[in-house]
Chain A
Amino acid sequence: MSRPTPAFTPSLEVSGLAYAYPDGHQALFGVDLTVERGERVALLGPNGAGKTTLVLHLNGILDAGAGTVRVAGLPVAKRNLAEIRRRVGIVFQDPDDQLFMPTVREDVAFGPAASGLRGPDLEERVREALERVGMEEYANRPPHHLSFGQRRRVAVATVLAMEPEILVLDEPSSNLDPASRRELADILRSLDVTVLMVTHDLPYALELCPRAVILSEGVIAADDRTQDLLGDEELMRAHRLELPFGFDPRSVTMGA
């Protein structure tokens, strides 16, 4: 397992994170995870493994029962919440939940405007974010008149506009047709930002993320090169992860 030597503070440091829901159900039992700046990491795991619970800790929606989360060195705590939410950009699974403003432009502007940006600076930020996902022509459209793939791209732009330290994607490839899926992959690869991608789509994880971690029963059960993880049949079976029919991760040659 080779990892880049940390030249900066890691984008994300989770240590000993445990959490139980108010009804007593414990979802996380001491999660340790470090993501270096610029890395793209896939977070894999069966349903109910606690993936969403972990994600909601990253920007302080849920309060850690024990342990800490740091984003670029800044601890996730009540007093830092505004800054933490600017640094952690979460793209939720359903773009209809994420895009709540009447037009694409206003939606992308929402985050930066909430942190106080106004006027030409705001316009510039919006234009740039939409350009990065190739949606600048749709700025004045209402989100519900876009295709699903376009909405997902705009959802990514709404988060990019906040210039986040880390981009967290919840099932980015769900409900996308193959072309939209590839377009989104091209966009994600072109971004110069740390990515944590929660997904069930194993080929997509292999395509985009050199490193993967498996979250199972509330702990990180494995952390390795994606290709090695997916090739370990025993490990995969133990965590209810299954590759699509006919897909052999060892046969895939990873270009970059």
Chain B
Amino acid sequence: MGAGHAHKLYRHAHSPVHDLPPHCKLAAVFGFVLVVVSTPREAVWAFALYAVLIAAVAAAARIPAGFLLKRLVIEVPFVAFAVLMPFVVPGEQTEILGVSVSVPGLWGAWNVLAKGTLGVAASVVLASTTELRSLLLGLQRLRLPPLLVQIASFMIRYGDVIAGEMRRMSIARRSRGFEARGVRQWGVLAKSAGALFIRSYERGERVHLAMVSRGYTGTMPVIDEVTASRAQWAYAGALPLLALAICLLGWTL
């Protein structure tokens, strides 16, 4: 596929994980996340095992640890919320490094942090081993409503086009001496946003015209059929099934 032109999230490589059909991977990640969030938060060791599982998948996909950790940064805003919890949640208090924090708050923070991190890590592994295009094919295969898949595919196709239009409008504004300095300039920006909306809407109409001209009648023809063998399903299923075993142990122990 277009070398050097792939999406930022995707990491081009050949590995057993890259080669799995996209819908298997999607189902596996979804299953894994479900299992992780339904694990009792007191079973700290279970989360450690989940992390080991994800690390194993990442290793099989030849994703360097540094790459994975850098991508995890997206989690930071949620982490900030988790950090607040020990201070604001009422309940039994305890002292850590001379600061008084609440015990339920600590557990809550741990819960958000551990489950969130694992979920994000699983998604990062999915995104770095699956191209956007195949993700869409996978979603289509998993019977997501076709309209949603179409909308997502148009977002990918026209994201750059609209960003380009936005950039040209910004250059045109600045060429005529406009600098967005404060609230007073917001009116101009709002009008630009409105103009951009109308342009995009009109483009949408032209695209629709072009689609109708080539025989579009409301459904996208299936051009690429993705299929998975039993072995591929079993391979992808290993992750959520192992996680499920850990989860069940976590409930019984």
Q: Give me the interface of A with B, judged by CB distance under 8 Å.
A: 56, 59, 61, 82, 85-86, 88, 90, 92, 94, 96-103, 106, 109-111, 113-115, 122, 140-145, 158-159, 162
Contacts and interface: CB of A to CB of B under 8 A. Distances in A.
Given A106-B223, A113-B222, A145-B2, A94 B206 contact: yes
Contacts of A114: 214-217, 221
Q: Which 3 A-B pairs have the closest CB atoms?
A: A113-B221, A114-B215, A111-B214
A102 B2 contact: no
Contact of B210 (A97, A106, A113, A122): A97
Report, as a range, how many residues of chain B touch the other chain.
20 to 34
User: Which of the listed residues B154, B209, B214, B215 has the most CB atoms from chain A within 10 Å of its own CB?
Assistant: B214
Given A56-B209, A61-B212, A100-B154, 19 more contacts: A59-B213, A85-B212, A94-B206, A97-B209, A97-B210, A100-B158, A101-B153, A106-B224, A110-B214, A110-B216, A110-B221, A114-B216, A114-B217, A114-B221, A122-B223, A141-B5, A142-B156, A142-B157, A159-B214
Contacts of B212: 61, 85
Contacts of B2: 140-142, 145
Interface of B: 1-2, 5, 132-133, 136, 153-154, 156-158, 160-161, 203, 206-207, 209-217, 221-224
B22 to A, nearest CB: 13
A98 B157 CA distance: 12
Report whether over half of chain B's contact residues are helix, strand or loop; otherwise say mixed: helix
B214 A158 contact: yes
B1 A140 contact: yes
Contacts of A106: 223-224
Contact of B213 (A61, A94, A140, A145): A61
B106 to A, nearest CB: 46
B223 A144 contact: no
B214 A144 contact: no
B210 A100 contact: yes
A85 B214 CA distance: 6
Query: Which of B156, B217, B223, B224 has most A Cβ within 10 Å?
Result: B223
22 contacts: A85-B212, A92-B210, A96-B161, A97-B209, A97-B210, A99-B157, A100-B211, A102-B136, A102-B153, A102-B156, A102-B157, A109-B221, A110-B223, A111-B214, A113-B222, A113-B223, A114-B217, A122-B223, A140-B1, A141-B5, A143-B157, A145-B5
Interface centre among A99, A113, A158 (most CB of B within 10 A): A113
Contacts of B207: 97, 100
A76 to B, nearest CB: 13
Contacts of B5: 141-142, 145
Contacts of B209: 56, 61, 92, 97
Contacts of A122: 223
Contacts of B223: 106, 109-110, 113, 122
Given A97-B206, A102-B136, A102-B156, A144 B161 contact: yes
Contacts of B206: 92, 94, 97
A143 B213 CA distance: 19
Contacts of A88: 213
Nearest to B5: A145
B137 to A, nearest CB: 10
A187 to B, nearest CB: 19
A96 B212 CA distance: 15
